[in-house]
Structure 1
């Protein structure tokens, strides 16, 4: 492993050693050390547990799963928005060595059927409904198509009480816990692919326990601090960076609502005196522009994480100046790397926390390579971001071919992201390899143009894509979301704003005004869909 100063690869040895516990053993260690600290608060349900109480509740559910015959390595699916039971099931399955399969609450029958069958789910724990989703009806429609599915537990019904009533003696749980290894697979998370079916990233205790721990180390949360978690549990941001980050440190997990609501999140931060809050950039934008924002007392906030997409500089500045989050961090990663590979630190200067994604996480190596040759590029030059270390997934569930495409023979995970590593080891993401626009032979990185447009007084958010062009191969198109009350902008106004400040080939030819961007539930912009819609709107199908 090369040292920090050795060259264009980078790693951070870290001050704390890797945790070699299982998730269950680590949780019990925290509960023993901080038994009376509040562990979990579900605001919507009015539920609260201390660490001692939550450990007892997790044990009851774990013993109930054993009583229902769930074996080590069996897959237990959970299909629900955020709630206390989600967290309890996360730790109960970890204690018995069952593999938790996270199912996106936005899925419909086609996707549900695929996930149940691809992972071989034996038990499904599901909400009954959420927003427009009737989970009971959808489970009924696909159950005959899922031959491995033997049991369905609906939350909020007598099913949950019956599961708890099935609890076997505590000794059987001890015996199961003693048989587990921290390198066992414990979680399958389906990545939101832009084409084809999603792939099941398979993660171990060691993968996600350590990643949650080191993310939380980086933002300086301590026992008794309180973290507001409005990001979804079915994704790494919620269950790893949120829940596991808290439970490795004796921090309180605060669930503001089943799904993200900016007003409720702000209300929860104030009422629960939260120390930190997590979110993707669109969540922070929504909170900062909510009518109640100026009236909320957010002075308890000190820290948090913004991740899931590259973070607009102006939004970050408002987090620090108006939300009191002086120690807020940027994190970068992907599900396949548990998820975080780079992070800014709580005491980094403003420039590093607004202009970069941070530097290599503890015990993780990173490098930036030429996507064509695989050779490491010089610092300051763009290339594909690759990472290696404890955090790299075990592989895609039952898909060795896709696994081999993502992880090379030397253990490097190839992310598909274009990055630049600075001389100080801090990195910036300049786009996706597939999102890079090639206009007349010039490589154009959408992120650079987006960051420039954020400085326009009328623009709330901007997303740049390439669209077909007969002359240049591709042209620049920008989708713009205006600030409330702003005047309409057209392509001529954007050209006038950019002329003399951006190279001519980076100035967007097309401008499309929108109220919202198409995005995944985790806040990632779906640029493939944007490109398809732009081609249709602009009549470029034959270009």
Structure 2
């Protein structure tokens, strides 16, 4: 196994020193510069007294800084802990304390929040450093460029990254990741089509596993990564065209936004080779529209933070909306290389036959060694046989393709029947008036729970109402699965990874009847 990220960058720095590594706001960091700057940051961290395994927090947007900090921590034997800049101060305090951070590095726009939430920690900022603080560039420049030498084969099982779960319910947990967890083998790399000529677009934050995984995969392959600090649909389309981007990872919510950008069909996106999508469910209707507009290969990835990204993939060859295997577009694909996949009974935990819904289990070198300082949670996370419990429900067909029904906790039980929201969402999304949709259960005296939908209508949808949409679904799914309540909303609340915050919808849309647009 290997080479891992640090050794890959070291190699590119020697063999292709001037090749572009990361571009941000028109400024490009070459592989030689990325290697040298990460060495200096690693040395500065060690000179500050940080010991092997110390957690280093940073508040940074996608860009050159996020790349060099991740690499520096790996080279120094430290644990990079990207922090979610969207968190409220009490939430940031909770994460910092849980991680036992020893230092925080921040961009200027986040320094006020960092000082307020973590006043006791040494601070490095790209802004104006206060008393006892460090200014990023002078702090870096003062350190030697000697490579500390960590991050090779001997460190395969060393934790170098700690990401916090999105915390849609309960307190976020620190998911530990090793260098081997993040390693993408030759088969995985070939499936994506990475090469030294690839141009990757990264708009996902490094505090999310998709953003970190996509960035490290591109750097390991020697590709050129172009970044945007935030996701503005028009800017994304502009960069796709101007930078001749070949590879990109989007969550479905972003695809929904991009296909609505004015003039998208007239843009020259011919350089695009592959769009990878994942992190949240996609409806077949959205996937078909996206494939038609972008005209490149599509590949779905299913996974979670605890699996360091992908468990399954639906390869481009399986994306055939008009062919005899069009039903596979509703699946998440089959197991990634070197990954084991199984379905367990929700009650007994025993394996179930093909076609039977149960909990999705997985084993691979990508699976986390566990949560940081959460022994009780770790016992629940793994089975006695070493399988990771994903908490997702689904089934495998006879060919080994995985069909995800939903998060187990999101299943709606109405009148004694199990309803998986993704089935209802997919049916509603086929209606031409529906732009975005989320389905969940709300309390019902007669049925226990009522299938409830929050819907964003397309502009110009006219007087599309509840009855029309309910009747539409009844022609496609069993009547008991059709929504009993529909709320029309302006937008769906989402976390930074694009997942709909259904608990927010449940709290805000209590009671029956339509909401207002």
Using structure 1 for the length normalisation, give the TM-score. Answer: 0.88
298, 301, 309: which one pairs with 1:331? 301
20, 23, 37: which one pairs with 1:41? 23
Q: Return the alpha-carbon distance in structure 2 between the equivalents of residues 114 and 352 of structure 1.
A: 44
Specify the alignment match of 1:53 in structure 2.
Answer: 33
- Structure 1 window deviating more from structure 2 (344-353 vs 455-464): it is 344-353
Q: Return the alpha-carbon distance in structure 2 between the equivalents of residues 353 and 284 of structure 1.
A: 19
Asked if the contact 2:164–2:207 (Cα under 8 Å) also holds between the matched residues in 1, the reply is no
- Structure 1 window deviating more from structure 2 (135-144 vs 195-204): it is 135-144
Q: CA deviation at 1:33?
A: 4.3
Q: CA deviation at 1:178?
A: 6.8
For structure 2, list consecutive stretches of 5 or more residues without a partner in the other structure.
130-134, 321-325
Q: Return the alpha-carbon distance in structure 2 between the equivalents of residues 397 and 61 of structure 1.
A: 25
232, 235, 242: which one pairs with 2:205? 232
Specify the alignment match of 2:60 in structure 1.
Answer: 80
Task: Indicate yes or no: 2:182 matched with 1:208.
Answer: yes
Asked if the contact 2:18–2:31 (Cα under 8 Å) also holds between the matched residues in 1, the reply is yes
Specify the alignment match of 2:323 in structure 1.
Answer: none
Q: Return the alpha-carbon distance in structure 2 between the equivalents of residues 250 and 169 of structure 1.
A: 21
Measured against aligned partners, the alpha-carbon deviations of 1:345-390 in whole angstroms (never above 9, x if no partner) come to: 2333423762211111111111011111101111111111111121
Specify the alignment match of 2:218 in structure 1.
Answer: 246
Asked if the contact 1:64–1:165 (Cα under 8 Å) also holds between the matched residues in 2, the reply is no
Kindly tell me: are residues 315 and 32 of structure 1, through their superposed partners in 2, closer, same or farther at Cα, counting changes over 3 Å? farther
Specify the alignment match of 2:78 in structure 1.
Answer: 98
Specify the alignment match of 1:343 in structure 2.
Answer: 313
Q: Return the alpha-carbon distance in structure 2 between the equivalents of residues 108 and 186 of structure 1.
A: 26
Q: Return the alpha-carbon distance in structure 2 between the equivalents of residues 73 and 179 of structure 1.
A: 17
Q: Return the alpha-carbon distance in structure 2 between the equivalents of residues 103 and 60 of structure 1.
A: 22
SS in structure 2 at match of 1:460 = strand
SS in structure 1 at match of 2:410 = coil
- Structure 1 window deviating more from structure 2 (62-71 vs 431-440): it is 62-71
239, 243, 266: which one pairs with 1:272? 243
Q: Return the alpha-carbon distance in structure 2 between the equivalents of residues 105 and 485 of structure 1.
A: 36
Kindly tell me: are residues 214 and 167 of structure 1, through their superposed partners in 2, closer, same or farther at Cα, counting changes over 3 Å? farther
Task: Indicate yes or no: 2:253 matched with 1:282.
Answer: yes
Superposition map of 1:170-185 within 5 A? 170=146, 173-174=148-149, 176=150, 181-185=155-159
Q: CA deviation at 1:236?
A: 0.9
CA RMSD of aligned residues (A): 2.0
Specify the alignment match of 2:139 in structure 1.
Answer: 163
SS in structure 1 at match of 2:183 = helix
Q: Return the alpha-carbon distance in structure 2 between the equivalents of residues 166 and 300 of structure 1.
A: 41
Task: Indicate yes or no: 2:189 matched with 1:219.
Answer: no
Asked if the contact 2:3–2:153 (Cα under 8 Å) also holds between the matched residues in 1, the reply is no
Asked if the contact 1:387–1:412 (Cα under 8 Å) also holds between the matched residues in 2, the reply is yes
Specify the alignment match of 1:417 in structure 2.
Answer: 392
Measured against aligned partners, the alpha-carbon deviations of 1:207-262 in whole angstroms (never above 9, x if no partner) come to: 01238x7654322222211011112221111111x11111221211110x211111
498, 501, 504: which one pairs with 1:523? 498
SS in structure 1 at match of 2:103 = strand
Task: Indicate yes or no: 2:283 matched with 1:306.
Answer: no
SS in structure 2 at match of 1:122 = strand
Specify the alignment match of 1:513 in structure 2.
Answer: 488
Identify the structure with bigger relative contact order (alpha carbons < 8 Å, sequence gap 6+). 1
Q: CA deviation at 1:68?
A: 2.6
Q: CA deviation at 1:177?
A: 5.4
Q: Return the alpha-carbon distance in structure 2 between the equivalents of residues 230 and 35 of structure 1.
A: 25
For structure 1, list consecutive stretches of 5 or more residues without a partner in the other structure.
1-18, 130-134
Asked if the contact 2:37–2:140 (Cα under 8 Å) also holds between the matched residues in 1, the reply is no
Specify the alignment match of 1:3 in structure 2.
Answer: none
Q: CA deviation at 1:397?
A: 0.5
SS in structure 2 at match of 1:266 = helix
Task: Indicate yes or no: 2:510 matched with 1:535.
Answer: yes
Q: CA deviation at 1:312?
A: 1.8
Kindly tell me: are residues 110 and 537 of structure 1, through their superposed partners in 2, closer, same or farther at Cα, counting changes over 3 Å? farther
42, 45, 60: which one pairs with 1:62? 42
Asked if the contact 2:277–2:298 (Cα under 8 Å) also holds between the matched residues in 1, the reply is yes
Asked if the contact 1:67–1:168 (Cα under 8 Å) also holds between the matched residues in 2, the reply is no
Specify the alignment match of 2:6 in structure 1.
Answer: 24
Specify the alignment match of 1:461 in structure 2.
Answer: 436
Q: Return the alpha-carbon distance in structure 1 between the equivalents of residues 402 and 443 of structure 2.
A: 30
Q: CA deviation at 1:509?
A: 1.0
Asked if the contact 1:67–1:166 (Cα under 8 Å) also holds between the matched residues in 2, the reply is no
Task: Indicate yes or no: 2:127 matched with 1:127.
Answer: no
Specify the alignment match of 1:7 in structure 2.
Answer: none
Q: CA deviation at 1:91?
A: 0.7
Q: CA deviation at 1:22?
A: 4.0
Q: CA deviation at 1:65?
A: 2.2
Q: Return the alpha-carbon distance in structure 2 between the equivalents of residues 421 and 513 of structure 1.
A: 34
Q: Return the alpha-carbon distance in structure 2 between the equivalents of residues 178 and 206 of structure 1.
A: 10
Measured against aligned partners, the alpha-carbon deviations of 1:139-163 in whole angstroms (never above 9, x if no partner) come to: 222334x5xx2x1111255611122
171, 178, 188: which one pairs with 1:197? 171
Q: Return the alpha-carbon distance in structure 2 between the equivalents of residues 527 and 354 of structure 1.
A: 24
Using structure 2 for the length normalisation, give the TM-score. Answer: 0.93
Q: CA deviation at 1:536?
A: 5.2
Superposition map of 1:286-297 within 5 A? 286-297=257-268
Asked if the contact 1:218–1:344 (Cα under 8 Å) also holds between the matched residues in 2, the reply is no
Kindly tell me: are residues 178 and 415 of structure 1, through their superposed partners in 2, closer, same or farther at Cα, counting changes over 3 Å? closer
Asked if the contact 1:344–1:352 (Cα under 8 Å) also holds between the matched residues in 2, the reply is no
